[in-house]
Amino acid sequence: MSEPFQRLLEIEQKCRASAAVLPGLDSDKDEWSGIGFRIGGTEFLSKMGEVTEILDPPEYTRIPGVQSWVVGIANVRGSLLPLMDLKGFITGESLANRKNGRVLVINHNGVNIGLIVDEVLGMRHFFLSEKAYELPEMENNMRPYIKQAFLRDKQYWPVFSFHSLVEDERFLHASL
């Protein structure tokens, strides 16, 4: 056998031996990842695939004849993005300072919607073993959008379902 070919075989064996101790593709099945965000004093999670983008609040135009939680419509890179105050929709209390909030852009059935929240907390990772079997105490008006939660260090992280929100009849009727 030629010297270079022998060297390549040795390198391959070393790589295979090293790869045996690396996590495999199946190991991520024990992990759940999402985006953390805050509405009022409550911290939530959303499934990773439900949020397509996170933005600073863009300039927007108010729309007459809509619910108070409909903030307006913005031009984001040439596309119109309706902006909604998530706290305003859920609790009836508008976000104290929308300009300091963040916008979670969701896409449901081909429609983009920007939901303004108090703060985005970044990516959060949980082990499936941290899934809570009981939902945490929370206001009744939030409960329809919470399907599961995670518990870590005695803190509940409810998972907010944006798909449930967008399919809610009250949310679909944004006009007065």
Residue ranges covered by each domain of the chain: 25-172
Domain 25-172, CATH: 2.40.50.180
Among residues 99, 100, 115, which one has the least CA distance to residue 50?
Answer: 115
Determine the pLDDT at residue 130.
95
Each residue's pLDDT tens digit, 72-119: 999 999 999 999 999 999 988 887 777 789 999 999 888 899 999 999
pTM for the whole structure = 0.79
For the chain, give the mean pLDDT.
87
